Amino acid sequence: MNKSNKGIYYLLVLTILGGLLFLDQSLKIWVLNHMYLGQTKTMAGNWFYLHFTENNGMAFGVEFGGIAGKLVLTGFRILAVFGIIWYLFKQINSGAHKGLVICITLILAGALGNIIDSLFYGVWFEDLVTYDDKGRYFLGRVVDMLYFPVIETHYPGWFPFWGGQDFTFFRPIFNIADASISSGVIAIILFQKKFFGKKLDEPVLEFPESDNDESFEQKNEEIV
Protein backbone atom coordinates (compact mmCIF):
# COMPACT_ATOMS: atom_id res chain seq x y z
CA MET A 1 0.00 0.00 0.00
CA ASN A 2 1.38 3.42 -0.92
CA LYS A 3 1.97 6.17 1.63
CA SER A 4 -1.08 8.17 0.54
CA ASN A 5 -3.47 5.26 1.11
CA LYS A 6 -1.79 4.43 4.42
CA GLY A 7 -2.29 8.03 5.53
CA ILE A 8 -6.00 7.82 4.74
CA TYR A 9 -6.31 4.56 6.67
CA TYR A 10 -4.47 5.93 9.70
CA LEU A 11 -6.66 9.04 9.68
CA LEU A 12 -9.76 6.82 9.53
CA VAL A 13 -8.49 4.72 12.44
CA LEU A 14 -7.70 7.77 14.61
CA THR A 15 -11.08 9.36 13.84
CA ILE A 16 -13.06 6.23 14.77
CA LEU A 17 -10.88 5.53 17.80
CA GLY A 18 -11.04 9.09 19.13
CA GLY A 19 -14.76 9.44 18.47
CA LEU A 20 -15.75 6.20 20.20
CA LEU A 21 -13.49 6.79 23.19
CA PHE A 22 -14.91 10.28 23.58
CA LEU A 23 -18.52 9.03 23.47
CA ASP A 24 -17.82 6.08 25.76
CA GLN A 25 -15.95 8.04 28.42
CA SER A 26 -18.28 11.05 28.25
CA LEU A 27 -21.35 8.90 28.92
CA LYS A 28 -19.62 6.99 31.72
CA ILE A 29 -18.46 10.18 33.44
CA TRP A 30 -21.93 11.71 33.06
CA VAL A 31 -23.51 8.65 34.68
CA LEU A 32 -21.00 8.74 37.55
CA ASN A 33 -21.78 12.40 38.20
CA HIS A 34 -25.55 12.39 37.73
CA MET A 35 -26.80 8.96 38.77
CA TYR A 36 -26.45 6.79 41.84
CA LEU A 37 -25.60 3.09 41.66
CA GLY A 38 -28.69 1.09 40.73
CA GLN A 39 -30.68 4.11 39.51
CA THR A 40 -32.72 3.76 36.32
CA LYS A 41 -33.74 6.54 33.94
CA THR A 42 -36.32 5.98 31.22
CA MET A 43 -35.00 7.12 27.85
CA ALA A 44 -37.52 5.76 25.32
CA GLY A 45 -40.77 4.02 26.25
CA ASN A 46 -40.39 0.64 27.91
CA TRP A 47 -37.51 -0.55 25.76
CA PHE A 48 -34.55 1.78 26.44
CA TYR A 49 -33.23 2.77 29.87
CA LEU A 50 -30.09 4.09 31.48
CA HIS A 51 -29.41 1.81 34.44
CA PHE A 52 -26.23 2.57 36.38
CA THR A 53 -24.30 -0.52 37.34
CA GLU A 54 -20.65 -1.50 37.75
CA ASN A 55 -18.94 -4.79 37.05
CA ASN A 56 -15.58 -6.38 37.81
CA GLY A 57 -15.41 -8.54 34.79
CA MET A 58 -15.85 -8.79 31.07
CA ALA A 59 -18.37 -7.38 28.63
CA PHE A 60 -22.06 -7.34 29.57
CA GLY A 61 -21.35 -7.79 33.27
CA VAL A 62 -19.72 -11.23 33.16
CA GLU A 63 -17.74 -11.61 36.38
CA PHE A 64 -14.19 -12.95 36.75
CA GLY A 65 -13.65 -13.78 40.43
CA GLY A 66 -11.88 -11.80 43.11
CA ILE A 67 -8.94 -9.38 43.20
CA ALA A 68 -6.59 -11.93 41.63
CA GLY A 69 -9.04 -12.53 38.82
CA LYS A 70 -9.47 -8.81 38.38
CA LEU A 71 -5.71 -8.26 38.04
CA VAL A 72 -5.40 -11.17 35.62
CA LEU A 73 -8.27 -9.83 33.52
CA THR A 74 -6.83 -6.30 33.45
CA GLY A 75 -3.40 -7.63 32.51
CA PHE A 76 -4.95 -9.74 29.76
CA ARG A 77 -6.81 -6.70 28.43
CA ILE A 78 -3.59 -4.69 28.24
CA LEU A 79 -1.79 -7.48 26.39
CA ALA A 80 -4.78 -7.89 24.10
CA VAL A 81 -4.71 -4.19 23.23
CA PHE A 82 -1.05 -4.39 22.20
CA GLY A 83 -1.88 -7.46 20.13
CA ILE A 84 -4.79 -5.69 18.44
CA ILE A 85 -2.63 -2.63 17.67
CA TRP A 86 0.06 -4.85 16.13
CA TYR A 87 -2.52 -6.72 14.05
CA LEU A 88 -4.15 -3.46 12.94
CA PHE A 89 -0.84 -2.04 11.68
CA LYS A 90 -0.09 -5.33 9.95
CA GLN A 91 -3.41 -5.30 8.12
CA ILE A 92 -3.03 -1.67 7.03
CA ASN A 93 0.50 -2.26 5.73
CA SER A 94 -0.60 -5.35 3.81
CA GLY A 95 -3.44 -3.53 2.06
CA ALA A 96 -6.34 -5.11 3.96
CA HIS A 97 -9.97 -4.42 3.14
CA LYS A 98 -11.14 -1.11 4.61
CA GLY A 99 -14.06 -2.85 6.33
CA LEU A 100 -11.68 -5.16 8.20
CA VAL A 101 -9.59 -2.19 9.34
CA ILE A 102 -12.74 -0.47 10.63
CA CYS A 103 -13.85 -3.60 12.51
CA ILE A 104 -10.45 -4.04 14.17
CA THR A 105 -10.55 -0.37 15.15
CA LEU A 106 -13.99 -0.87 16.73
CA ILE A 107 -12.64 -3.74 18.80
CA LEU A 108 -9.58 -1.71 19.82
CA ALA A 109 -11.70 1.28 20.84
CA GLY A 110 -13.95 -0.89 22.98
CA ALA A 111 -11.03 -2.61 24.67
CA LEU A 112 -9.36 0.72 25.45
CA GLY A 113 -12.61 2.20 26.74
CA ASN A 114 -13.07 -0.53 29.35
CA ILE A 115 -9.37 -0.60 30.25
CA ILE A 116 -9.55 3.07 31.20
CA ASP A 117 -12.30 2.24 33.71
CA SER A 118 -10.37 -0.68 35.16
CA LEU A 119 -7.07 1.14 35.45
CA PHE A 120 -8.05 4.63 36.57
CA TYR A 121 -11.64 5.06 37.72
CA GLY A 122 -10.96 3.84 41.24
CA VAL A 123 -8.52 6.75 41.63
CA TRP A 124 -9.91 9.43 39.31
CA PHE A 125 -13.44 9.12 40.69
CA GLU A 126 -12.73 7.90 44.19
CA ASP A 127 -15.48 10.13 45.62
CA LEU A 128 -18.08 8.84 43.15
CA VAL A 129 -17.55 5.08 43.01
CA THR A 130 -18.84 2.83 45.78
CA TYR A 131 -16.72 -0.32 45.62
CA ASP A 132 -14.22 -1.35 48.31
CA ASP A 133 -11.13 -1.27 46.10
CA LYS A 134 -11.40 2.40 45.20
CA GLY A 135 -8.28 4.51 45.56
CA ARG A 136 -6.16 1.86 43.83
CA TYR A 137 -5.09 1.57 40.23
CA PHE A 138 -5.88 -1.58 38.22
CA LEU A 139 -8.85 -2.46 40.44
CA GLY A 140 -11.51 -0.12 39.12
CA ARG A 141 -14.86 -1.40 37.90
CA VAL A 142 -16.33 -0.90 34.46
CA VAL A 143 -19.32 1.45 34.32
CA ASP A 144 -22.34 0.01 32.47
CA MET A 145 -25.61 1.79 31.77
CA LEU A 146 -27.30 0.83 28.48
CA TYR A 147 -30.33 -1.40 29.02
CA PHE A 148 -32.66 -2.51 26.23
CA PRO A 149 -35.42 -4.80 27.57
CA VAL A 150 -37.13 -4.85 24.18
CA ILE A 151 -39.23 -7.92 25.05
CA GLU A 152 -40.50 -8.58 28.56
CA THR A 153 -42.67 -11.65 28.95
CA HIS A 154 -42.51 -15.05 30.67
CA TYR A 155 -41.82 -18.61 29.66
CA PRO A 156 -44.93 -20.75 29.14
CA GLY A 157 -45.67 -23.22 31.89
CA TRP A 158 -44.76 -26.22 29.73
CA PHE A 159 -41.28 -24.84 28.91
CA PRO A 160 -38.49 -27.09 30.34
CA PHE A 161 -36.59 -25.81 33.40
CA TRP A 162 -37.80 -22.17 33.19
CA GLY A 163 -41.52 -22.67 32.78
CA GLY A 164 -43.48 -19.72 34.24
CA GLN A 165 -40.37 -17.63 34.93
CA ASP A 166 -39.88 -14.10 33.61
CA PHE A 167 -38.07 -13.67 30.30
CA THR A 168 -36.41 -10.44 29.14
CA PHE A 169 -34.70 -9.76 25.82
CA PHE A 170 -32.20 -8.06 25.84
CA ARG A 171 -31.27 -8.52 29.53
CA PRO A 172 -27.54 -7.63 29.77
CA ILE A 173 -26.59 -4.06 30.72
CA PHE A 174 -23.61 -2.78 28.75
CA ASN A 175 -21.79 0.34 27.59
CA ILE A 176 -20.61 1.88 24.32
CA ALA A 177 -17.26 0.10 24.57
CA ASP A 178 -19.00 -3.29 24.85
CA ALA A 179 -21.21 -2.46 21.87
CA SER A 180 -18.14 -1.42 19.86
CA ILE A 181 -16.36 -4.70 20.53
CA SER A 182 -19.43 -6.79 19.72
CA SER A 183 -20.14 -4.85 16.50
CA GLY A 184 -16.58 -5.35 15.28
CA VAL A 185 -16.53 -9.08 16.04
CA ILE A 186 -19.97 -9.75 14.52
CA ALA A 187 -19.13 -7.80 11.36
CA ILE A 188 -15.88 -9.77 10.89
CA ILE A 189 -17.79 -13.04 11.22
CA LEU A 190 -20.52 -11.97 8.80
CA PHE A 191 -18.18 -10.53 6.16
CA GLN A 192 -15.12 -12.74 6.62
CA LYS A 193 -15.12 -13.92 2.99
CA LYS A 194 -15.10 -10.34 1.77
CA PHE A 195 -12.56 -9.11 4.31
CA PHE A 196 -10.06 -11.94 3.92
CA GLY A 197 -10.19 -12.19 0.15
CA LYS A 198 -7.69 -10.57 -2.22
CA LYS A 199 -5.62 -7.74 -0.72
CA LEU A 200 -6.08 -4.30 -2.25
CA ASP A 201 -2.54 -4.19 -3.63
CA GLU A 202 -2.34 -7.83 -4.58
CA PRO A 203 -1.50 -8.05 -8.29
CA VAL A 204 -3.80 -9.87 -10.65
CA LEU A 205 -1.85 -12.47 -12.59
CA GLU A 206 -2.37 -12.36 -16.34
CA PHE A 207 -0.95 -15.08 -18.52
CA PRO A 208 0.09 -13.92 -22.02
CA GLU A 209 -0.85 -15.96 -25.00
CA SER A 210 1.78 -18.54 -25.83
CA ASP A 211 3.71 -18.25 -29.10
CA ASN A 212 3.66 -22.03 -29.23
CA ASP A 213 -0.13 -22.05 -29.35
CA GLU A 214 -0.10 -19.59 -32.25
CA SER A 215 2.49 -21.59 -34.22
CA PHE A 216 0.53 -24.78 -33.58
CA GLU A 217 -2.59 -23.25 -35.09
CA GLN A 218 -0.60 -22.05 -38.13
CA LYS A 219 0.82 -25.53 -38.72
CA ASN A 220 -2.67 -27.02 -38.61
CA GLU A 221 -3.80 -24.52 -41.25
CA GLU A 222 -0.84 -25.42 -43.50
CA ILE A 223 -1.54 -29.13 -43.23
CA VAL A 224 -5.19 -28.57 -44.15
Annotated catalytic sites, by residue? 144, 178
Instruction: Using DSSP, state whether 157 is helix, strand or coil.
Output: coil
Burial class (CB in 10 A: 0-12, 13-18, 19+), 106: buried
In whole angstroms, what is the distance from residue 145 CA to residue 83 CA? 28
Hey, what's the torsion of the CAs at 56, 60, 62, 64, to 10 degrees? -40
In whole angstroms, what is the distance from residue 192 CA to residue 221 CA? 51
